[in-house]
Amino acid sequence: MNARVNSAVASERERAKEIRELAGRHHLGALGEFHVDQGTPVELFRGIVLNELNARGGEQGSRPLYEPAGHLGLSRRELAKHNLLEYLKSLVEARAAGATGPVGLAKEWSDEIARRAGITARGAFCPLDVYMRDAEVDAPWKGSTFQRTLTASGGVSSGGAVVQSTVAAADYIPPNYNQPMCVRAGARVLPGLQGNVLLPKMSAGKSGTWVNPENTAVTEADPTFAQVSLSPHQVGAVCDISRQLLLQSNPAAAELARADIAVALALAIDEGALTGSGSSGQPTGIFNQSGLGVAAVGANGGAWTWTLATSNLQNVAAANRLIEDGSLGWMMSASAWGHALRTNRVTNGFPEFLIDSKKPFELVNYPVHVTQQIPINLTKGTGTNLTAAIFGLWSDLLIGEWGLLDILVDPFTFSNTGAIRIRAFQTVDVGVRYGAAFSTTNDINTT
């Protein structure tokens, strides 16, 4: 009995301590004390703080809850000797020597990150300090490292242009990647998470009622509440680094490797945010959200129309999410975009197309983002190879990240060429504040 009481007391002290520490970090002492007294679970208080930071807007809304466990605060002297390629080479050498994990300094770093995060690495945790050393960002751990990862795709195709002609890295040609678009469209990245996070929301508010006759009791209409949960999910991606690139000491070569890993992970998470099934370790993406609006073509799919496009806007407006915060917009595949460029709004009169050919591309006065992350092989009835277009308030899409980059090096798959295969894992989750903030037409026949 005493053991249970002592355990309960210790648990309560730990809860109060973590709430006060988190509240103090963000200058929310009064809010923290209130929730200590209310008995609020730590997971829910994390969500309350995130909502508070988002409500502040500007830079405050992108501040991490905690300093990411992957940031070790390495000195300039340490960073001067280590970049991502050096770190990868140390892992390759350790593997070639028969070690089952990192050795030396890499092991010290990985073990410290594992201790802070309370989890075990598949391969080795790479310090964010090292990973972002050659990237043109200022103190990435002060904001969202993953937000910068998601926008790193431009560096892959243009990285070769900054390599000196005397450096033989020109033979490194990365894959012709799709373009991750969710963050560009306005999705919110929630950096520096720890543990599970519950974001509270009011799913239905109070409603007023007319009183008749006089002195009649007012009908009760209490609000109802719900929660959007974020919990750590592991997402992995594979990228291959040539032997020649691995040997380069030029910072541009290190940036190529960093960008290659960054985009590989970004695409996996971007795809999960759009089409994740909610099972088999995947988050629940927008296309599988409860409450998602739909403006369907028909039983077997068919051509897109102006009526359907405006119906998507109508669905979002009916859900009270047509909020002009700069993140309202469309996302569609290249085939849907091309189809809209050549499809008339009306069947007679002067030709006006769904999307005008003038840049920036817009549909019903809202911006259009084009990406091959949108499926192009959907089926409906007898219709095949159908695609989708989705309209919504992209700031209602949340991408949470826990600030951990886990790298597993495979020097054997391409041992005849000397290239290495890297399996990189990131800890993230996806949440949608309101499913009805999005509306889709997912049976478009573009032929």
Chain segment 177-218, per-residue pLDDT in tens: 667 789 889 998 888 888 899 988 766 555 667 776 777 776
pLDDT tens for 255-314 read 777 778 888 888 899 999 999 999 988 999 999 999 999 999 999 999 999 999 999 999
Q: Does domain 71-200+224-447 have CATH number 3.40.50?
A: no
Q: Return the closest-CA partner of residue 82 out of 52, 102, 61, 96.
A: 102
Structure tokens belonging to residue 360: 């920036």
Helices then strands, each counted (H, E), the chain: 14, 14
Residue ranges of the chain whose pLDDT lies below 50:
58-61, 136-143, 147, 150-172
Structure tokens belonging to residue 276: 């994740």
Sign of CA dihedral 208, 212, 214, 216: negative
pTM value surpassing 0.85: no
Tell me the residue type at 266.
Answer: A
Task: Give bridge partners of residue 422 from the DSSP assignment.
Answer: 239, 409
Sign of CA dihedral 21, 26, 29, 31: negative
Which DSSP symbol is given to 7? Answer: H
On the CB side of 20, CA atoms within 13 Å amount to 9
Spatial contact of 372 and 366, defined as CB atoms under 8 Å apart: no
Find where tokens 């972002």 sit: 132
What pLDDT score does 404 carry?
85
For the chain, give every domain's residue range. Answer: 11-55, 71-200+224-447
Instruction: Give Cα 230 distance to the centre of its chain.
Output: 12
What residues contact residue 38 under an 8 Å CB cut-off, 6+ apart? none
Tell me the residue type at 3.
Answer: A
* Helices 104-117, 84-96: crossing angle, 10 deg rounding: 110
